[in-house]
Chains A and B, each alone.
Chain A
């Protein structure tokens, strides 16, 4: 078995099949990065997986899961002004959390350099929106490099790090979901460990002003703007830009990032092929290349995923330079939405140049697909909790969801969680919902990792301003949704934190004990002030994975006995996917899915769910 941790430290040149996220870690190592921080979020958590594959004592940099993206950014910033090259990575909406600190960075001299890896998510594959973070970059005068393949991700990181070190400026490496997760053979350079250990050279006198307030801001802003001009020169270097010359003087396309690949695929079957300019920096743009490309074509189509940044910038460049080339941006509103897959790009090109890019007629299909919404895993403690909570609260009561696996409670059949904004919003939103509200109880939810990430201020606000709602903390001991990363709760119990805040009404219960959970919740919502129920059960997916790692098999399955009426409570209310319907309409237990947790047994009104006894076969179901 190849060991990833050893491969990443290989001294010789080598090639390996990896995803984009893994390729970035090799680039960090080769760039002599000294500090890496993150808060887990898709599509970037596999960067942490690759880092953790290297034994701690062999890892050539410091790494931490910070409590949230803002803190992660600050830790990386502190390391950089101490003279160390640092890197922070997080998902698209993580930037909103980090923004308060992040927008300051270009104003300051980052002596060691700092690369910010952003995992944007066109298509909202695993996010609450598909925000385009070029907005932030432009607002903060921060340059952005965007790769389209894992190979390019590796190479662009090396270049971003080098530029950042030279310019003492932050550089954003903007990844998107299917660049993070694309898998291909990547060719890596040799690695020579340059220095061991890091620096402690923070020197405000030498590196300038680190206190940007009032008029002290202006010289810093001036410097940031001057640096941005320098970045234009970087963006104009040949190494960042690809020109595909198809000999078409009439039509051209300008693009960046992964849509470039979709354009190339769309051109495979096109009648005529436009010339293509792919830029490495969507911000700031390589003006010289853009001007030349515009001048050399009669009409140029800009293919830009999500919002229209470079479209506007290119039109401005053309106007300022008196260029009369026809420039076409987005035609329809759907071009602002979703990932620019090969299909979508073909459709966009077809709208512009229907004769060049014909779309094959769609086969008419009458068959309808089966929906398979995401669901809680078999044995999940949250399922047991939602089942009990639904029975304990009133029909008119209001439930406020938060981010985490427990968000899935909003789905059928639980329908718990009626409103969602972002990480940690639930207590603030619940407080507002409690105002002018005499009759409807408000119940907010929070996961344990989110409690530390952004949940605590909302809780303190509820105490301070005497809001009256009940918070249920769904504690599973891990950051489950993103792949079981560790979090602060494992070194400081949530209950202790709550007690420290002076909360009097704290109830704690294992979610598998549904009756006790229901009773305690009723008691909590009956109290006329802020109350907390800690509903805990360890993540069972993590538990099952650990069992499998030890090459053990799952046992203790349940089966349905002759008492089954059937009421279908296990299917329609508890809804563990292990309960399936047989051809004759009876309930059966899938032995492939059941993990033997037995949290279902208490839900059956006919006591028809029973454990398979030792020595008996599990196969026969009534």
Chain B
């Protein structure tokens, strides 16, 4: 195995946002790059709009689960989940966060039992704990289900995982998508980078 850097990556979002797909692309791409990689999705009742967490770990590690405060990189497809993930996995201060600026308000917020969350709160939390962050928002996104690709493009563009190559990502997508979906996603990916 070429790379034995330990990278603990946590992907969060809401059931239905395509977290499983993003995780599958990354695991396959990292494998294509010669990394020793494993992962696991924890979805529970996620397809009904609950929180989804997916873990990816590279290098000489055993469990596929990332521990509390153990993330090196957090990819968040939604603001509230981003905030929660920072508290769960990022506070130790060496994490890097990429979040997409969209919000799917949880029930408590809609019922006005909890305060609305703004992107500034996430940025403030990152600054407080010394977490480097990157915001993604693409107004020309063809489909909200492609937020995962926008995040993936940002991860690649910002070079947060140095081993990750364009070709590896492209072939990972090719592995798991039919021709039409692949074309649509790779075109959008290319636009984003």
Instruction: Please tell me if B168 contacts chain A, counting CB pairs below 8 Å.
Output: no
> Contact residue range for chain A?
35 or more
Residues of chain A within 8 A of B69, CB atoms compared: 363
Contact among A126, A185, A265, A373 with B62 in the assembled complex (CB-CB below 8 Å): A265
Known A17-B28, A553-B143, A581-B105; contact A372-B40, beta-carbon cutoff 8 A: no
Q: How far is the CA of A261 from the CA of B44 in the complex (A)?
A: 22
Instruction: Assess whether B80 is in contact with A372, with CB atoms less than 8 Å apart.
Output: yes
Q: How far is the CA of A187 from the CA of B131 in the complex (A)?
A: 38
Contact among A260, A365, A405, A590 with B48 in the assembled complex (CB-CB below 8 Å): A405
Instruction: Assess whether A412 is in contact with B107, with CB atoms less than 8 Å apart.
Output: yes
List residues of B (36-75) whose CB comes within 8 Å of A's CBs: 37-51, 61-65, 67-69
Instruction: Assess whether A125 is in contact with B42, with CB atoms less than 8 Å apart.
Output: yes
By beta carbon, the residue of chain A nearest B181 is A551
Say how far A377's CB is from chain B's closest CB, in angstroms. 6
> Contact residue range for chain B?
35 or more
Known A17-B28, A125-B42, A377-B49; contact A370-B68, beta-carbon cutoff 8 A: no
Known A258-B63, A265-B61, A369-B88; contact A1-B176, beta-carbon cutoff 8 A: yes
Say how far B100's CB is from chain A's closest CB, in angstroms. 11
Q: How far is the CA of A1 from the CA of B49 in the complex (A)?
A: 28
Q: How far is the CA of A183 from the CA of B40 in the complex (A)?
A: 6
Contact among B51, B93, B102, B174 with A372 in the assembled complex (CB-CB below 8 Å): B51
Instruction: Assess whether A1 is in contact with B41, with CB atoms less than 8 Å apart.
Output: no
Instruction: Please tell me if B166 contacts chain A, counting CB pairs below 8 Å.
Output: no
Chain B, residues 144-160, CB within 8 Å of chain A (1/0): the string is 11000000000000000
Known A370-B83, A371-B106; contact A17-B27, beta-carbon cutoff 8 A: yes
Instruction: Assess whether B45 is in contact with A581, with CB atoms less than 8 Å apart.
Output: no
Instruction: Assess whether A577 is in contact with B49, with CB atoms less than 8 Å apart.
Output: yes
Known A374-B45, A592-B102; contact A571-B31, beta-carbon cutoff 8 A: no
Residues of chain A within 8 A of B47, CB atoms compared: 377, 483, 541
Q: Is the interface of A mostly helix, strand, loop or mixed?
A: loop
Instruction: Assess whether A183 is in contact with B175, with CB atoms less than 8 Å apart.
Output: no
Instruction: Assess whether A178 is in contact with B110, with CB atoms less than 8 Å apart.
Output: no
Q: How far is the CA of A405 from the CA of B15 in the complex (A)?
A: 14
Instruction: Assess whether A580 is in contact with B105, with CB atoms less than 8 Å apart.
Output: yes
Q: How far is the CA of A572 from the CA of B109 in the complex (A)?
A: 11
Instruction: Assess whether B110 is in contact with A374, with CB atoms less than 8 Å apart.
Output: no
Residues of chain A within 8 A of B63, CB atoms compared: 258, 261-262, 264-265, 341-342
Instruction: Please tell me if A375 contacts chain B, counting CB pairs below 8 Å.
Output: yes
Instruction: Assess whether A183 is in contact with B116, with CB atoms less than 8 Å apart.
Output: no
By beta carbon, the residue of chain A nearest B60 is A268
Instruction: Please tell me if B33 contacts chain A, counting CB pairs below 8 Å.
Output: no
Residues of chain A within 8 A of B45, CB atoms compared: 126, 374, 408, 481
Say how far A225's CB is from chain B's closest CB, in angstroms. 37
Residues of chain A within 8 A of B84, CB atoms compared: 369-370, 372
Instruction: Please tell me if B140 contacts chain A, counting CB pairs below 8 Å.
Output: no
Instruction: Assess whether B65 is in contact with A178, with CB atoms less than 8 Å apart.
Output: yes
Contact among A260, A261, A363 with B92 in the assembled complex (CB-CB below 8 Å): A363
Q: How far is the CA of A591 from the CA of B143 in the complex (A)?
A: 10
Instruction: Assess whether B64 is in contact with A184, with CB atoms less than 8 Å apart.
Output: yes
Q: How far is the CA of A264 from the CA of B63 in the complex (A)?
A: 8
Instruction: Please tell me if B193 contacts chain A, counting CB pairs below 8 Å.
Output: no
Residues of chain B within 8 A of A375, CB atoms compared: 48-50, 107
Residues of chain A within 8 A of B162, CB atoms compared: none
Instruction: Please tell me if B2 contacts chain A, counting CB pairs below 8 Å.
Output: no
List residues of B (73-117) whose CB comes within 8 Å of A's CBs: 80-81, 83-84, 87-88, 91-93, 102-112, 114, 116-117
Q: How far is the CA of A412 from the CA of B108 in the complex (A)?
A: 9
Q: How far is the CA of A212 from the CA of B92 in the complex (A)?
A: 61
Q: How far is the CA of A413 from the CA of B15 in the complex (A)?
A: 20
Q: How far is the CA of A264 from the CA of B65 in the complex (A)?
A: 12
List residues of B (157-193) whose CB comes within 8 Å of A's CBs: 174-182
Chain A, residues 265-279, CB within 8 Å of chain B (1/0): the string is 100000000000000
Contact among B87, B114, B116, B176 with A583 in the assembled complex (CB-CB below 8 Å): B116
Instruction: Please tell me if B14 contacts chain A, counting CB pairs below 8 Å.
Output: yes
Residues of chain B within 8 A of A577, CB atoms compared: 49, 104-105, 107, 110
Instruction: Please tell me if B7 contacts chain A, counting CB pairs below 8 Å.
Output: no
Q: How far is the CA of A546 from the CA of B37 in the complex (A)?
A: 32
By beta carbon, the residue of chain A nearest B42 is A125
Contact among B42, B87, B103 with A369 in the assembled complex (CB-CB below 8 Å): B87
Instruction: Assess whether B14 is in contact with A372, with CB atoms less than 8 Å apart.
Output: yes
By beta carbon, the residue of chain B nearest A585 is B112
Residues of chain A within 8 A of B143, CB atoms compared: 553
Known A365-B87, A370-B84, A376-B48; contact A181-B106, beta-carbon cutoff 8 A: no
Say how far B49's CB is from chain A's closest CB, in angstroms. 4
Q: How far is the CA of A575 from the CA of B109 in the complex (A)?
A: 12
Instruction: Assess whether B42 is in contact with A185, with CB atoms less than 8 Å apart.
Output: no
Q: Which of A183, A261, A577 has the most CB of B within 10 A?
A: A183
Instruction: Please tell me if A343 contacts chain B, counting CB pairs below 8 Å.
Output: yes
Instruction: Assess whether B144 is in contact with A592, with CB atoms less than 8 Å apart.
Output: yes
Instruction: Please tell me if A593 contacts chain B, counting CB pairs below 8 Å.
Output: yes
Say how far B25's CB is from chain A's closest CB, in angstroms. 11
Chain A, residues 175-191, CB within 8 Å of chain B (1/0): the string is 00010011111000000
Instruction: Assess whether A580 is in contact with B110, with CB atoms less than 8 Å apart.
Output: yes
Q: How far is the CA of A125 from the CA of B52 in the complex (A)?
A: 12
Instruction: Please tell me if B125 contacts chain A, counting CB pairs below 8 Å.
Output: yes
Instruction: Assess whether A261 is in contact with B114, with CB atoms less than 8 Å apart.
Output: no
Contacts from B to A (Cβ < 8 Å): 14-16, 23-24, 27-28, 31, 37-51, 61-65, 67-69, 80-81, 83-84, 87-88, 91-93, 102-112, 114, 116-117, 125, 129, 143-145, 174-182
| 10 closest A-B pairs by CB | A374-B45, A592-B144, A374-B50, A261-B63, A264-B62, A261-B62, A184-B38, A372-B106, A375-B49, A369-B84
Interchain Cβ contacts under 8 Å between A and B, 13 examples: A1-B177, A181-B42, A182-B38, A184-B37, A258-B63, A261-B64, A363-B69, A369-B87, A370-B83, A370-B108, A575-B107, A575-B110, A581-B112
Contacts from A to B (Cβ < 8 Å): 1-2, 17, 125-126, 178, 181-185, 258, 260-262, 264-265, 341-343, 346, 363, 365, 367, 369-377, 405, 408, 411-413, 481, 483, 541, 548, 551, 553, 571-572, 575, 577, 579-581, 583, 590-593
